[in-house]
Structures are given as C-alpha cells and as structure tokens.
Amino acid sequence: MVFCGRVNPITGALDWIEEDENYDYHQEIARSSYADMLHDKDRNKKYYQGIRAAVKRVKDRGEEAVVLDIGTGTGLLSMMALTAGADYCYAVEVFKPMADAATQIVKVNGFGDKIKVINKHSTEVTVGADGDMTRRANILITELFDTELIGEGALPSYEHAQHNLMQERWEAVPHRATIYAQVVESHKLWSWNKLLPMQLESGNLEPPYEMQSCPGAPSVCDVQLSQLNPRDFRPLSDILVVFRVDFSKQVSSSPASHIVNFTSLADGSAQVVLSWWDIDMDPEATIICSMKPSWLYPALHAAPWRDHWMQCVYFLPEEKKVTQGEEICLIANQDDYCVWYNMTNSRTADGSLTDSPACRCGAHITWNRARFGELNDQKRMDKYKEALKTILMPSSVCLCVSDSSLLPILAHSVGAAQVFTLEPSSLAHQLMDKILQTNNLKNKIHILQKSPDKVTAADLGERKVTALIGEPFFTTSLLPWHNLCFWYSRMALSEHLAKDCTVLPMSASLYVLAVEFKDLWRTRSPCGNCEGFDVSIMDEMIKKSLDFRESQEAEPHPLWEYPCRALSDPTKLLTFDFRKKIPTEEMKAEGSLSLVRSGVCHGVVLWMEYQLTEDISISTGLLQLSDETGSCQWYPHRKQGVYFFNYLWNLGLAPTDCHSSVTYNLMFNPQQGDIRMSFIPKS
C-alpha cells in the first residue's frame, strides 16, 4: 500500500489516502473504452470484412500474409487476421496491462504460436534475426484513431511503420480515411466558445474585446452530435470532403493545409465547423465504417452507437458574415496530432498553413465549454437575478463565493451597496478584472484573490457581510456534490458574516433516479465472447478494477448526450442547509426506490438541486420527465453522477422486468466531505 496526496474537491484540504500501489493501473482499466469498442459490432464486422479482403489480395499474389497490428488492445483484430487465413501476426501494444491481457487472450483462443504480442511503442519495434519482428509485414492493421482521427498520433505511427516495418508493397486495413466537414451557424454551439452579452437591469454586460477576438482553445470539442437537435444549427455549406489519408501509400506526418471551396447555402454567420470521418476498409470502398451523426442516416436506419469515437465541433477563430451564393474558402490545417479551421474569401486563399489557435484572453484556459454555455444561459441567469432581487437591498454588503461567476455583477445591477467576490486563482482574477473594466465596474465590485479562510476584516472594509451568494460552481468539482465546497467556504467565513446574513442558495438537495440507458450501459457491460473469440480475461480485469473503492462510486457523465428512461420517480435523498453550520455527525439516507416503469435497470443518476430562495430553485440534473414514456431531459451545462450496478458483471446483462425496487444507503461524512453510497436492485 502507498499514501497518495489528493486535494479534496469539497473541503479543499489535502487528504492523504492509503491506496494499493496498483491503484492508477486499476483506474485506467476501469475507465477504459475497451468494453465499448468490443461491443461495437459495426466496427468489428467492418474490420473483419476488410481484414479478410486484404488477406485474400495478398494470397492471390502468391505471398505469405504477414500482419502487423499496431495498438492491438485485446488482440481481437490479430485473431481475426489469423481466422481470415493470415500466416503470422505481430501484435504491438504499448500499455503493459493490455499487452499482458492480449498475450493471455490469444493463447486461450489457440493462436499463441501464430501471434507474437510486442509490448512496445511501434516506433521502438525492431526487425531482424534478433529483433522483435524477424521479417517485415505486408498487411498493416491499425486502430490508432480517436474522434479527430489523428489525435492519438496515427500519422507519425503510420509513417514510421511504413518506412521501417513494412515490405515495399503492403495492404492496409483500413485502406483510407476521409474527413468531412460542414460549416454552420449555431447560437447554441457558439455559446460554448465565447462569452456573449448578457441582459442586466441597466443595459447589457459586454464581454471584453480580448475575449471577442480570441481564437479560442486549441483542442477539439468532441461530442455525440447525434444528440444535437438539427434545429440548433443552420447549415451554410453542403457536407464537404476536406482531405483523405491513403494508408496503403506512404503517409506523411508533416503539417499541411487543405483548401475546400464552397458556395454558401444561406445568409448567416459562419461560426462552427461540424466534422466526422469515415474509413474505407477496402480499396473499392465497398466496406465503410462511418462516424456520421444519426440525422444523416435514412429514417429507418439506426446509427451504430459508439462512445470511443464521436464527432467533432471546431470553432472558427471569429464568426464571419456570409451571404447566400457567396464563394467561400474553408481551410483545414493539420499537424501530426490536431486539425483546425480557418475561413476566407475564395479569391484571397493562398493555402498557407496558419498557426494552431491558442487562447489569448485566458477564458478558454479558465472555463471549459460547458461553463461557457452555463454563463451564457440567459434563462438561468434570469433566475439568479430574480432571486437576488428578493434578498438584496441598497445597504447590502454582498460576498460571492464561486469560481469565475457573474453573480457579483448581477448583485451590483440589482442595487447592492458593496459587492466582493473571491477569485483565488490569479488567472481567474485577471479574467474577472477584464470583464469589470470593460463594463466600468472595476471600482464597484472588489475582487479578492484569496481563499475563504484567508479573508480578513480589512479585506471587507471592516464591514460584515449581509448576503453570501454563490451558484455554486468550482472548477475542481467533478461530481454534483463536490460543489458543497460552498458550505465549507461559508463556515470558513463565519466570523465575517452578520448575524442575520442571508445565504443564497439557502440549501442544496441530492436527488436520485433509477434509469434504463439506451446505450451508455455498454461501457460497463462484459463482453465474454466477442465475434466468436473468448475475451473474458478482459472482463475479469475490468471487474477487478471496478471492485476498487473509487470505481464503485458514481462517475460524472453529461447525460444530455446519453439518452435514458426513468424507471422510478425522482427522489430526494439528502438536504444540506447552508444557513446552518456543517453538522458534526454523519448525515444518512436509507430507503428504496420503487420501479414504476418496466425496463432494464442499469443504475441510478444523482444530481443536485439548489433552493435559491423559498420560491426559486435551480436544477443541475433532471429538468423534465415524461410521465408517459419516462424520457428525461437533463441540464446540459453540468455533469450528472451515474452509479452503475455491479450485477451487470455478475449476470452478463441486466435481466428485464425482474426487479421491483432499488435499495439505497448513503452517508455524508462532514469531516471528510465525502459521500459513501450503495445501491442494490431487489426483486
């Protein structure tokens, strides 16, 4: 056992936790996407068809089929190659636990003498009598792709392998990849990237120029575009072929730009590029594995679900007004790991590579996309504004405790005499300072670059705080209850609060709902037999990892991307009253959830609801529930907690209609700021 230092996201304290020395390894296995990939029948089927065709092409030339499988994972594709008639396979896997698992899996399936698992990065593999490979391969199989296609270093890996590990002529599976893009206008998506003007009591809150002109974050926004309503964007271009990569020819990882000219379909503001890719498994493109979103499939054709590959949202460096019929040039730039886009008039495009976007304003470093969306949610901010109107007076001394919050500005706009806000982070302090300066509020709202326990009476002008406010939101929070940090901050500030100090929100309540997921359960379901191969060793590894403390608890997921049905009614478990001191005794909740709808109960969802005032509340989870179907609408700007049942592993798949309730036992430990939980389905 070893001691690991971790910052407690609720209390803010550094906790020393005793963990197994293999803790990080078990967490990596538990959080991996291997189950998701193995359950992706469309992917597996297309890969096998492509492998079988490649082996046949080599055999038809009278050659032995020698396969190099880079990133073999469980060894599934290598075993497919041997089944398809390949003579030998070198399976390369850099992650040692997976390489060990692959070694066992290929032996269990009877391929131990025909598949050599090499635990190295492919660029370290050697060829020769004493090398890792005794001969070069003539079939290259890879699954090195991510949502962006090239984000896991596929291009340099291909480049090295083709130069050093392959024969002069080789077949590749997949054979080629095609990147697609569509330019759109979307207020919803754009609000994930820029701070937009916000309506106040007296005019608008305007974002600083540095934010408006900032090109944004360099990283792609990967998302389940299938869950985005097509009404949330307006297409300004057709679906465009941006570039292709032919894996049967020498690949280059050198930076490049790709010019695509198109005619604008409508008047609008070009803001966002939606993108995805297809891979052709054979030269004739008769076997295609596509990542396109569901709304591009025929009405009666269900899109294959996968979470290991999604779709991309790229934000243009600045929005550009276009008119219908205008000739426009979209420029895709790529290096060996990333893609980024620019747009210009087709007559001025010169094809030169532009620099990758980098945040200059600090906002894209401080806030993630969901936080941008939350700050731009006018309906949500209106609720806070109405709540603040009921508690603030001209004489109020207001202190805000939330990271990078606009509540201090709302408090000032409704008439608070003095407003203070805590921003312990220097970057967040600079960011808020820019916003205040742009809106002539710098002398009216005071930013304290301090944690709550470091605030002094002098910082507050020797005045007591009469209104303590928060959203609450903290950048260190992963799970919904981590924002109970607000309660601990309130206790740290106790000596500075007036006796009749109003606290907003008044309280927070933890809710739970038993659900049936449409697809998300696949990431936690065992594979056992996959495409005719025994991969149960992988199941055992993941099950063992899930037995570790942290993996038995809830996981954060943005459920607006993952549809589910409610099988129970939403139930309040615990209420935390911020107007009172944190209790010294543990808070407990025990009981059961009755399942009022039939279905497969995969687990429960947990979220927080905040009571701002007696009449105004905010939910960070369930927004709407259909009584008839049980379909759920989830708050899109926060992640909800998902607790999967372990019986998915005990029984293989959750049995239908065999449970009538879910018993629960939760315990909140005030000293540790931790919630321990147990949920068990009962017949």
- Do the beta carbons of residue 144 and residue 152 sit within 8 Å? yes
Closest CA to 512 of 649, 663, 383, 683: 663
CA distance 346 to 261: 6
Residue 243: CB atoms within 10 Å: 19
DSSP structure class, residue 546 = H
Q: How many CB atoms lie within 10 A of CB 5?
A: 8
395: which 2 tokens?
A: 């004489």
- Out of 143, 171, 555, 609, the active site residue is 143
Identify whether 206 is a catalytic site residue.
Answer: no
Catalytic residue status for 185 = no
Q: How far is Cα 421 from Cα 78, in angstroms, rounded to an integer?
A: 58
Which are the contacts of 298, defined by CB distance < 8 A and separation ≥ 6? none
67, 79 Cβ separation under 8 angstroms: no
Instruction: Judge whether 387 and 612 are in contact, CB under 8 Å.
Output: yes
User: How far is CA 321 from each of CA 101, 299, 318, 438, 447, rounded to the nearest angstrom?
Assistant: 54, 33, 10, 25, 37
Cβ count within 10 A of residue 453: 11
Set 152, 159, 531, 561: catalytic member: 152
Q: Tell me the C-alpha to C-alpha distance, in Å, between residue 68 and each of 82, 141, 563.
A: 12, 6, 38
Angstrom CA distances, 582 to 11, 483, 575, stand at: 11, 14, 12
Residues β-bridged to residue 244: 178
Would you list the DSSP string of 586-645? PEEEEEEEEB-S-S---EEEEEEEEE-SSS-EEESSEEEE-TTT-BEEE-TTSPEEEEE-
* Cβ 490 vs Cβ 529: under 8 Å: no
Residues in the chain: 683
- Active-site residue list: 143, 152
